[in-house]
Each structure stands twice: as structure tokens, then as C-alpha cells.
């Protein structure tokens, strides 16, 4: 069963008609599923990867000596650039390249696409930085004449920020800073030693440095235990003390009895009826290699910005010849990622400090929101600053810099490593990209994946706005390090951040080589934008398709701009708002 006599895929149709099919179980899909289930809606949740078993899949408290090659991979793969993305111990279940699932880039473009195939998606291992967009972020064109205004205002989404923060749990403090709106916060742990020194320097430079907003709970929340401060959030958390959609939303939603979870289900196409509405989702059951269909009254796309775009563009029909929900032609356009640049330095005040546990939450306890939002600069918009340092868990490659600089080996090398450990700080900027006509994704007409599904081709270009922003980052970070009495290390790209700051001499590089590669920050958004005008947008203000009234999008696709705030919290808030609207429309019989 499952194959015809020619060995080709055979379509198997499932009998039930679900109220809603949600495609993707990450931040948007998990939120939509939980909200819909709580409102009494019957949901089929499709995930392209396997089920998550935190007790088995997470390596939260594992030591390097417990695994072969100390986690470097077979044959010491990580020493040769072939190691697992973000390291062996990361909770990710995907990578920059997936076997049999390629993507391509246009001539002259560079783009990196990280995909996670497992229940919970990238929320199992992401940085959990949870920042609200500011009021002015929703009206960029009105403010400075660049970009496009959102069809919603801060007041429209604020109640859903409240709901999302209250449910998933976010640390922070009320500061009254316009660029960093206050929210529903849990207490943030006190700063570590290096963070205290950074704050003193930032105060001298007039840059605010405040408690970090992280999706980590510090008090018991909805049956979840508070953080036990092991500092390993990226490895996954068996106590669900940090937010992952799998543990916090999907598993509880399934327990309601109103959610059917389909794993290893690779969505292939949205099938429409004679009226142009979605009537079923076609997917590949990766276990049996059969094509199946799930019938539904409505669909919520939350497969991630680019996967959702790919699905829409591949869902062609006589009525939707340009792809589903794409009469405007904007699906795939306006692709954005955050800008990224990092710089570190060695701080004399940290040399010889008594060793101590500096783990805390799995991320910094302080950060710096954009402080020049009301100033006129030579580039539009801005960035926030993330900081690093302390006595982190040593791993493969942690001391490459010392080894490159130190002459000798044995006892003298060990002494140099011991003395260097914990003496560095790092700064990473994450800034706003302005959408441009040269940055988009489309279907590659010549390439399919191993499931026979046409793949995406990416085109990407930074503009002067982003390059000048990175120059400002470098100047600011240099001033910060020098104010601390330190010496700047070699500038690094974002992909090098997993390797602690080395001690190489600075080598001048053009700014085009300093900025992150497109997609590298994993904040891709904007390719299924919302708007009031159906001729210029794919979705309305509720993330409902203009062309297809029973189709909704609940990932980063609807973003109209990509402000200097990590997008996950806004994805959760928008998904919550969309799910409530969809449930009410279903009740009224409007979809």
C-alpha cells in the first residue's frame, strides 16, 4: 500500500475533516495550536520532523567526557568545519544543509537557511531573547519615509504581548524606555561580574544597559519549575524552565484531546476547491513515503517564513496561477534578516579573578536596547546589543585563540589557557534591515528535493543602510571595550560566535566582510507581508489571506519590517491574535 505499480507516490486521503490544519510546530504553530485547542477548535498539527522526547533528545547536563570525541563528531569533524551546527550538545534537530533537501542561491548572492525538523522546531534551542516591538516600529514610513507601515499599531498587539509573556514567562524590568517597551515580567537574575563591568562602561558612554528580556521563568509558572541556572538553555531544558513551543504549548494542547499531531509530515501543497478556498493539505508521510491529504475548514501556515512561502508558491492552480494567496505578487518578496556583527576584547580587570559559577540563565542577564532612536544618523533605524563573557562551559575549540598565539605546548600551554579563561567579553549587534527589491526568494524551476517538491532559490543583498549600521556597531563596541580598559580582538562574523573570542591581531576588512551573511542570524521574516491593500500585500491585519479567506499565516512571514528586536515574541503575539480571530470566524461560519 502507498505505491502504485510504477513505484510512484500514491495519494491516500484521510477521512476526518478538521476545523483547522496547522502546518509547523514552532513558535507560531505552537501558539496557534494551543490557543485554538483551548477555544474548543479541533486541530490537525503537521510537523515535518519527528516527535521530541526531552529526556532522550536534550543533552542539558551532559559532560564532554561522556561522549565520543568529546562532542567533536566522528573523526573530529568539528575541527575541520564539518561539525554539527551550534555544537554537538545543541538541542537543534536540523542544520544549514539538510540531506536531500537543498536550496539554491541566485548568481552573486549568499544566503544561509537554517531549518529545524522536530516538534518545537527552532524554539527548542533558540536564544530566547523576547523583545516587544516599539510603537514607532509599526509605522516606519510615517516616521522617516523609508519602508512601509504595518496595518496594525502597537495598541493592537499590546494585549497579545501581555498574553504571550504571561503564559510563556519572560524576565525583565520596567524601565520606561520607548525603544524597549515594558511588559509582563518575571524577575531577572542579578548580573554576572563581567556584566557589572560592562554596565559601568555603558553608563559612562550614556548607553542604557538593563536586565535582559528572556523567555526563561524564574518562578513557578503553569506547573513549570523555575530556572535552576545551569546556563545550558541551548541544549534544551528537561524541566521546561525555558520556553519551547513543544513543551509549553504543543504537548499541553495534545492533552486536551482536540489536537491530532502528525509527525514526519512534509507539507507539499495546499489544495483548493472550485471557489479557491483551501479544502485539504497534501503532505508526504516521510515514514511510508506516501502522499496523503488532510481535509479541513481552514489552514494556518506556520512552517517558518521561507517554508511557508515555498508552500504557497508551490500551490498553483488555474485560479491561483502565481501561487496561492499571491495575486499581489508579493509572496517571496521583501525578505529580511537581522544585521549581525560581533566584536570582543580581553579585559585586564577580569585577569586573575577567583573562579566561580557564572552560569545563570542560558544567555546574558543584561542587554542594551537602541538608545539613539530619536537622533538623526547617517543610516535609518538601529540595533540592540547582546553581551557575552564569564566562565562558560569549555568545549571543542574554546581555546583555539590561545593555542594559535601561544608558543609551546604541555604545561605552559595549559597555564596560558587557564589564565586566559574567563577574561574576555563579547558584544553582538542585532539590527534592522530595510527591505529592498534585490532580496527575495522564489521557486527554482530546475531543482526538487528528495520528496519531489520544488525548492527555493534565494537572492540577497545588503544596502548602505545596513553597512553603515555595522560600522556604527564596530565603533560603539570598540569604545565599550576600551572604556573597560581592554584590548579589542579580531572582529568576527555571527557564525563565529560559538568560538570564544581569540587573541589574534586585528586585520582590517571591508565592512561587506564584517556584516553577517544573509540568513545567518536566523531572523528571516517578511515574505508574506500583511497590509490593507490587496494589491500590495498578501494578508490582512489578522494575517488572513486577501485571496483565500480560510488561509492564515502565523510565522515571521507577515512582518512588514524587521526592527532591531528578535522576532519570536512578536510571532507568538501575532499568532495568538490570529488564532483568536480565526476561532471566532469559525464560530460565525465566515471561513
Cα Rg, the chain, nearest whole Å: 24
pLDDT tens sequence across 430-445: 999 999 999 999 999 9
pLDDT-based confidence at residue 400 (cuts at 50, 70, 90)? confident
Instruction: Give Cα 119 distance to the centre of its chain.
Output: 15
Q: With 80 as the cut, is the pLDDT of residue 387 above it?
A: yes
CA separation, residue 432 to residues 133, 137, 325 (Å): 12, 10, 27
The answer to whether residues 360 and 216 touch, using CB atoms and an 8 Å cutoff, is: no
Name 373's Cβ contacts closer than 8 Å, sequence gap at least 6: 134, 136, 178, 179, 382
pLDDT band at 11, cuts 50/70/90?
low
pLDDT at 84: 83
pLDDT of residue 14: 53
Give the C-alpha separation, 199 to 566, whole Å.
22
Summarised one tens digit per residue, pLDDT across range 181-229 is 999 999 999 999 999 999 999 999 999 999 999 999 999 999 999 999 9
Position 5 pLDDT exceeds 80: no
Average pLDDT over residues 512-530: 98
DSSP state of 246: I
**Is residue 556's pLDDT more than 70?**
yes
**CA atoms of 259 and 140, how far apart (whole Å):** 39
Q: What is the pLDDT of residue 554?
A: 98
464-511 pLDDT, tens per residue?
999 999 999 999 999 999 999 999 986 544 444 444 444 344 457 899
Q: Which helix (H) or strand (E) holds 15?
A: strand 11-23
Query: What was the pLDDT predicted at 506?
Result: 47
Residue recorded with cell 486521503: 13
Average confidence (pLDDT) over 520-532: 98
* Strands 115-116, 339-346: pairing kind: unpaired
Q: Give the pLDDT score at 417.
A: 95
The pTM (predicted TM-score) of the whole model is 0.94
In the chain, the percentage of residues whose pLDDT exceeds 70 is 95
Q: Which domains are assigned to the chain? A: 11-51+91-111+122-391+423-588 (3.50.50.60)
- Over residues 72-125, the pLDDT tens digits come to 888 888 888 788 888 888 988 899 999 999 999 999 999 999 999 999 999 999
User: What is residue 53's predicted lDDT score, i.e. its pLDDT?
Assistant: 95
In this prediction, residue 9 has a pLDDT band, given cuts at 50, 70 and 90, of low
- Residue 564 near residue 382, CB atoms below 8 Å: yes
Cα-Cα-Cα-Cα dihedral of 83, 128, 543, 39, to 10°? 120
Per-residue pLDDT tens digits for 273-329? 999 999 999 999 999 999 999 999 999 999 999 999 999 999 998 889 999 999 999
Q: Report how far residue 278's alpha carbon sits from residue 289's, in angstroms, rounded to the nearest whole number.
A: 24
Contact present, 537 and 315 (Cβ < 8 Å): no
Q: How far is the C-alpha of 38 from the C-alpha of 56, rounded, in Å?
A: 28
Mean of the per-residue pLDDT values of the chain: 93
**DSSP per-residue letters across 403-441:** HHH----THHHHHHHHHHTT-EEEEEEEEPBPP-TT-EE
DSSP 72-123: T-TTSGGGGT-SPTT-TT----EESSBTTB--EE-TT------EE-STTGGG
* Predicted local confidence at residue 502, as pLDDT: 43
Q: Could you tell me the maximum CA-CA distance found in the chain, to the nearest angstrom?
A: 76
For cell 566584536, the residue is: 343
What pLDDT shows up at residue 405?
86
389 pLDDT exceeds 90?
yes
Q: What is the pLDDT of residue 501?
A: 43
Amino acid at each position: 500500500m502507498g505505491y502504485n505499480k510504477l513505484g510512484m507516490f500514491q495519494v491516500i486521503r484521510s477521512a476526518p475533516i478538521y476545523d483547522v490544519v496547522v502546518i509547523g510546530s514552532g513558535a507560531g504553530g505552537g501558539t496557534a495550536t494551543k490557543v485554538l485547542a483551548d477555544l474548543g477548535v479541533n486541530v490537525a498539527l503537521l510537523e515535518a520532523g519527528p516527535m521530541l522526547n526531552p529526556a532522550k533528545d536534550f543533552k542539558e547536563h551532559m559532560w564532554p567526557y561522556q561522549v565520543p570525541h568529546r562532542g567533536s563528531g566522528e573523526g573530529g569533524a568539528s575541527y575541520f568545519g564539518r561539525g554539527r551546527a551550534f555544537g554537538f550538545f545543541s538541542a537543534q534537530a536540523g542544520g544549514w544543509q539538510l540531506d536531500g533537501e537543498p536550496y539554491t542561491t541566485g548568481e552573486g548572492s549568499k544566503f544561509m537557511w537554517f531549518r529545524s525538523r522536530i516538534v518545537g522546531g527552532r524554539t527548542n534551542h533558540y536564544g530566547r531573547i523576547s523583545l516587544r516591538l516599539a510603537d514607532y516600529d509599526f509605522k516606519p514610513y510615517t516616521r522617516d519615509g523609508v519602508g512601509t507601515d504595518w496595518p496594525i499599531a502597537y495598541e493592537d498587539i499590546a494585549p497579545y504581548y501581555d498574553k504571550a509573556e504571561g503564559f510563556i514567562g519572560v524576565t525583565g524590568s520596567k524601565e520606561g524606555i520607548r525603544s524597549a517597551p515594558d511588559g509582563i515580567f518575571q524577575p531577572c537574575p542579578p548580573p554576572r561580574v563581567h556584566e557589572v563591568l560592562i554596565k559601568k562602561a555603558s553608563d559612562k558612554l550614556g548607553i542604557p544597559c538593563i536586565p535582559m528580556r528572556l523567555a526563561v521563568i524564574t518562578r513557578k509558572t503553569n506547573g513549570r519549575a523555575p530556572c535552576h541556572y545551569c546556563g545550558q538553555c541551548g541544549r534544551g531544558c528537561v524541566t521546561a524552565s525555558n520556553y519551547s513551543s513543544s513543551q509549553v504549548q504543543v504537548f499541553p494542547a495534545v492533552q486536551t484531546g482536540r489536537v491530532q499531531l502528525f509527525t514526519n509530515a512534509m507539507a507539499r501543497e495546499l489544495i483548493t476547491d472550485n471557489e479557491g478556498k483551501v479544502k485539504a493539505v497534501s503532505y508526504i508521510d516521510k515514514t511510508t513515503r506516501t502522499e496523503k491529504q488532510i481535509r479541513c475548514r481552514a489552514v494556518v501556515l506556520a512552517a517558518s517564513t521561507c517554508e511557508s512561502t515555498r508552500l504557497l508558491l508551490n500551490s498553483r492552480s488555474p485560479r491561483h496561477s502565481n501561487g496561492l494567496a499571491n495575486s499581489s505578487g508579493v509572496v517571496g518578496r521583501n525578505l529580511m534578516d537581522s544585521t549581525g556583527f560581533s566584536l570582543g576584547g580581553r579585559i585586564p580587570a577580569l585577569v586573575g579573578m577567583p573562579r566561580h559559577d557564572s552560569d545563570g540563565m542560558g544567555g546574558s542577564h543584561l542587554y542594551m536596547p537602541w538608545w539613539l532612536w530619536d537622533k538623526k544618523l547617517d543610516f535609518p533605524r538601529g540595533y540592540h546589543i547582546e553581551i557575552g563573557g564569564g566562565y562558560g562551559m569549555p568545549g571543542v575549540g574554546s581555546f583555539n585563540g590561545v593555542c594559535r598565539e601561544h608558543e609551546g605546548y604541555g604545561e605552559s600551554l595549559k597555564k596560558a589557557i587557564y589564565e586566559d579563561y574567563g577574561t574576555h567579553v563579547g558584544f553582538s549587534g542585532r539590527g534592522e534591515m530595510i527591505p529592498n527589491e534585490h532580496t527575495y526568494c522564489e521557486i527554482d524551476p530546475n531543482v526538487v528535493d528528495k520528496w519531489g517538491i520544488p525548492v527555493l532559490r534565494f537572492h540577497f543583498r545588503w544596502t548602505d543602510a545596513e553597512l553603515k549600521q555595522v560600522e556604527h556597531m564596530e565603533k560603539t563596541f570598540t569604545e565599550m571595550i576600551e572604556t573597560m580598559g581592554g584590548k579589542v580582538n579580531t572582529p568576527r562574523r555571527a557564525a563565529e560566535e560559538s568560538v570564544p573570542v581569540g587573541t589574534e591581531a586585528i586585520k582590517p576588512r571591508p565592512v561587506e566582510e564584517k556584516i553577517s551573511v544573509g540568513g545567518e542570524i536566523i531572523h528571516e521574516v517578511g515574505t508574506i507581508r500583511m497590509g490593507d491593500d490587496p494589491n500590495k500585500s498578501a494578508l490582512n491585519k489578522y494575517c488572513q489571506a486577501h485571496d483565500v479567506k480560510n488561509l492564515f499565516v502565523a510565522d515571521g512571514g507577515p512582518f512588514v519590517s524587521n526592527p532591531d528586536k528578535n522576532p519570536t515574541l512578536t510571532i507568538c503575539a501575532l499568532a495568538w491574535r490570529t488564532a483568536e480571530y480565526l476561532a471566532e470566524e469559525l464560530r460565525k461560519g465566515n471561513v
